[in-house]
Structure 1
């Protein structure tokens, strides 16, 4: 155009704004000013709309200055646009000042202030502004209902919706229905959700995409997955999108029905990161760790870029399996994608290293993120140090946590009390137990009581532990009685063991560990007849003994071993190595602990049974599958027995290997014939 007037520029600004090309609209407006042309009210309202859409508060303030210079502040459409711009930019104070100076306040002005305060979570101001309105529209009611819903005040959202139906003539629209159904979903109130669904059918509210998604999500989150599936089957295909399918998928995941969840996932044509993450989290939460890792690998190859929730979930799988190498790879990916800065990801990385036995790297991650002063990070490190037998370091870090002003919670105290129990710090444990209540107002829970019983019992204070249990204000659980029973075995107190076992079985009749522990006590005291009676009693009650197994992760594969394992493809080589290892450590001075065998058989057979415990077979496999000097990392689902603990100390010295064993209660770091637990476990 050879000549451009204000109308031409305004048409371009309006067109770009309506085409959602907001940045270009703002730049065109600035070029218009550079041409020396004065904007009209239509130019200003549209460019302010573009600033609001992009939350460009800085550019919006410049436009506002032109509004003032041109004397258009009293123009209602322009003033409303200024108000909306500040609201969308999150500048509540300036928005309020603009609102107070408006000579005439339209309904849209009032609605803008209600929406702004509700969006920022200032529900008291939103409600007081709503109550002051001379006229209310459906937008006014929706702003308050949505504000309550989005700020976690779902019960208030439902009450306000009820008030809308009873106190006004307003008919809810699809936005109202969507917020109300979201509140029902968050509260798990499927009965009210069904009433809203019935209202939709009765009043003929249009089944928009938003309403359909909200109904599916409400039913799925409330556990009524079949109802959610029914809504989906009846919906118009064009109204179904990734949100609908993901909501249904998450409903099946919540029920643990991963097969149906996978069916939904497979038919989704456009899977976003939320759908992929939902499936991975579902596999992880339901114990399908291999499937979770395989799906994550597929996502890396052909899916969207994983977000922090995805990485945290798959890192949790790595921690469960102690897959250190794969955990390192994901750590590298988190660094490259800057997701490492996410609290959930960094804490998950710390946990992977800690649960894989690599405490130095766990500490390195902690030192990198500790400046955030998040209690979950401090707690994770305190627990990790305790599990690795570093009681002094765990307690020291707890004291440092208090000094820097990070307030501990109940889980932190479980960690530090556990550290005291594993290290034998009886007096400190008692002090922390009291401090938890007096200084931080934390009411003890069963986990804290169990830690105190464990602390006293491990230290040989069995009578005091029994007295503590009797004075507990709640009924002791299986963990508390189990801790006392385990200590009775250690200190060979058969009478108290009988009491603890009976109490444990009264709480958990199918607890095979109670029979095993009591039998161990009798065996340690040479009471073989009593031990046999316990085994017969277990057999008569058809209580299955928990099978012990160990596993190790080598060359991207998990290798699992049971006692006397005959299923492993390299069993012959494993048994030859295990036999040689047994003879070598005996020559080095190792004496088998025959009392660790619970069967009354001859000593030669006892020794053969001991040599084939699952952790010894896993170590033998590690010795033939890794280069010399490589650290071996072994996991076991049960507590390591006395014989294996002593044997592994000798193996670490004879084979010149560091061996890290994670059993059901803690880590043991074996090196040069010594264990990090100092034989106190």
Structure 2
């Protein structure tokens, strides 16, 4: 602080007050507060020597704001009657630290002590609200204690209601505000964005301008996120391109949005733009997301490039903390086990994520025995598990092993582990036990998320139970979370496998128009496959022509496969001509087309296709093996 001991001895209570007021909340101020603290004790200005708790309260505020909770609590405990000014820094620290349950319990203790909340402590407590019931109770306190008109209280209420899925209440709070600031508008826009209500979100922008506020970069980042959440990534990119100086949050938002919509290639392309031409370097969150995209694409070489950039530009500990688990998974998933274990060894020894990543990577690489062995070794070494451990090992488990791990999960944390339920549903369905999958889904009625519903719909669809899948989809639309692009694909795939063509067409219209979900290649492929399987080739081709995207090889491949099954030469030839342009060196297309001609007795045309294949494709000579002995 730059004060001599002599200067301390001349300080009066008024001077101490001025000094404490001059210290800004920071770790360095907390260190300076220690020196002031000792002088206040020496002069008897703190309880129990003093009957006034004023200096005590000011000190504990500095300690709590500077991150020293223990010192703050020590001062708090000696106060005979802590007031709202003493409670506020304690509750704020707990909220900032993510200890939301303890934060709310502390608020309840304060209220039980008869302390009235004010416009400073209520926003802090509201930020820790975990569901609508808690938010409503805090909202009632705001009304009761005349803080309902406080702009910061209302901004916090909008966010809390939105986070708990209660958009109606969030909108009512917003509509009731006499005065709004930019944060108010961004909070409401974020609420609609999180709910996927793009139309309502866009309606706010003219009203925002009328209120005298222009969207800032935070606004645009939120809007981009909203478009990506409903699969409208192309529109999100248009917004991104209009931002004059996108920041690292802008890049991370658009990359993560594409990744969530399974557009991993596009996410990597945006990352290349970021590192190639922008003045905005990626941070550890960006790199972690990009590594995850590489893992989903099975692109270890791209992952290595991001790995190299990460260790060059970031502190290794920070980089491996955020991206290490994904790197382990991508290397293990591509059978580079030595490299995976090298990264594994560079991560924090106490980091359970690295254990989970190695298990997930081994399972993804098809090394199921090694994945289960590593899980068992963790148990024998006394290393604890978490829900991610369980969900990582389940894809590698046999039916009996899945049942054993199911029992382990029930004993430990199953009632609160949504991801475990999701993995169990998939594991049971993969093993052919749809009854056990449905039982797991039903048991998770309090903790289901969109992945839980998607997993069960996919399970029904993969077993040919299309009607059951659609019944569940209707229930999800009525009482569950908002469907996403994965739900879209799962519903259409279920219709395709069960031959429910008309229902599939109806769902496609509903999901694209009523739910504002933008179809992607996977969904178009499902529709074309469904129509083709039913022999409705004209409709399938018309559907392709109406697509907003260029038809992929998978889309035309569905037409060709169905043409072979139905013996339809005309549409088989149409699909083959398209595939010959898209992937001219794929020998399988030529073989399939030759087979279609052969079944129709058109031998000469079949021979022509085979000669085309010999010219354009590298065909393995019959009677030889690819194995070379050295």
User: Into which bin does the TM-score normalised by the smaller protein fall?
Assistant: 0.5 to 0.7
Change (3 A) 1:509 1:77: closer
The answer (yes or no) to whether the contact 1:511–1:543 under 8 Å persists in 2 is no
Corresponding residue to 2:127 among 149, 166, 182? 149
Aligned to 1:567: 581
Aligned to 2:106: 125
Shift of 1:251: 1.8
Structure 1 counterpart SS, 2:27: coil
Shift of 1:471: 7.6
Aligned to 1:333: 309
Counterparts of 2:82 and 2:130, CA distance in 1 = 30
Counterparts of 1:127 and 1:371, CA distance in 2 = 38
> Is residue 220 of structure 2 the alignment partner of residue 211 of structure 1?
no
Equivalences for residues 342-361 of structure 1 within 5 A? 342-361=320-339
Aligned to 2:573: none
Structure 2 counterpart SS, 1:335: helix
TM-score (norm 2): 0.66
Change (3 A) 1:563 1:58: farther
Shift of 1:87: 2.0
Change (3 A) 1:94 1:155: same
Aligned to 1:371: 349
Counterparts of 2:191 and 2:161, CA distance in 1 = 6
Counterparts of 1:179 and 1:302, CA distance in 2 = 34
TM-superposition CA deviations, 1:498-530 (whole Å, max 9, x none) = xxxxxx99993413999xxxxxxxxxxxxxxxx
Counterparts of 2:2 and 2:386, CA distance in 1 = 53
Shift of 1:129: 1.8
Counterparts of 2:492 and 2:197, CA distance in 1 = 36
Counterparts of 1:197 and 1:484, CA distance in 2 = 47
Structure 2 counterpart SS, 1:539: coil
TM-superposition CA deviations, 1:177-233 (whole Å, max 9, x none) = 111011122123221122112211xxx2x2223223222222322333343334333
The answer (yes or no) to whether the contact 2:402–2:427 under 8 Å persists in 1 is no
The answer (yes or no) to whether the contact 2:300–2:331 under 8 Å persists in 1 is yes
Aligned to 2:565: none
Change (3 A) 1:397 1:42: same
Counterparts of 1:89 and 1:63, CA distance in 2 = 15
Aligned to 1:159: 137
Q: Which has the higher strand share?
A: 1
> Is residue 228 of structure 2 the alignment partner of residue 253 of structure 1?
yes
Structure 2 counterpart SS, 1:510: helix
Counterparts of 1:453 and 1:168, CA distance in 2 = 54
TM-superposition CA deviations, 1:420-477 (whole Å, max 9, x none) = 5xxxxxxxx354233223333159968546645756xxxxxxxxx6xx5578755986
Aligned to 1:281: 256
Larger radius of gyration: 1
TM-superposition CA deviations, 1:106-140 (whole Å, max 9, x none) = 65345445545555532222221233245x3623x
TM-superposition CA deviations, 1:472-506 (whole Å, max 9, x none) = 75598665885899xxxxxxxxxxxxxxxxxx999
TM-superposition CA deviations, 1:562-586 (whole Å, max 9, x none) = 99964379x6xx69xx89xxxxxxx
Corresponding residue to 1:392 among 369, 377, 383? 369
Aligned to 2:497: 511
Equivalences for residues 147-546 of structure 1 within 5 A? 147-150=125-128, 152-153=130-131, 155-165=133-143, 167-200=144-177, 204=178, 206-233=179-206, 234-235=208-209, 240-300=215-275, 301-336=277-312, 337-338=314-315, 341-369=319-347, 371-374=349-352, 376-408=353-385, 412=389, 416=393, 418-420=395-397, 429-441=398-410, 448=424, 451=427, 508-511=494-497, 538-539=534-535
Change (3 A) 1:287 1:169: closer
What is the count of residue pairs matched by the alignment?
Answer: 510
Counterparts of 1:192 and 1:296, CA distance in 2 = 38
TM-superposition CA deviations, 1:593-613 (whole Å, max 9, x none) = 9xx999758999999989999
Change (3 A) 1:114 1:418: closer
Aligned to 1:54: 26
Counterparts of 1:88 and 1:288, CA distance in 2 = 42
Counterparts of 2:426 and 2:77, CA distance in 1 = 60
Structure 2 counterpart SS, 1:311: helix
Q: Which has the higher helix share?
A: 2
Structure 1 counterpart SS, 2:2: helix
Change (3 A) 1:231 1:440: closer
**What RMSD over aligned residues (CA atoms) do the two structures have, in Å?**
4.9
TM-score (norm 1): 0.62
The answer (yes or no) to whether the contact 1:320–1:355 under 8 Å persists in 2 is no
Shift of 1:334: 1.7
Structure 2 counterpart SS, 1:71: coil
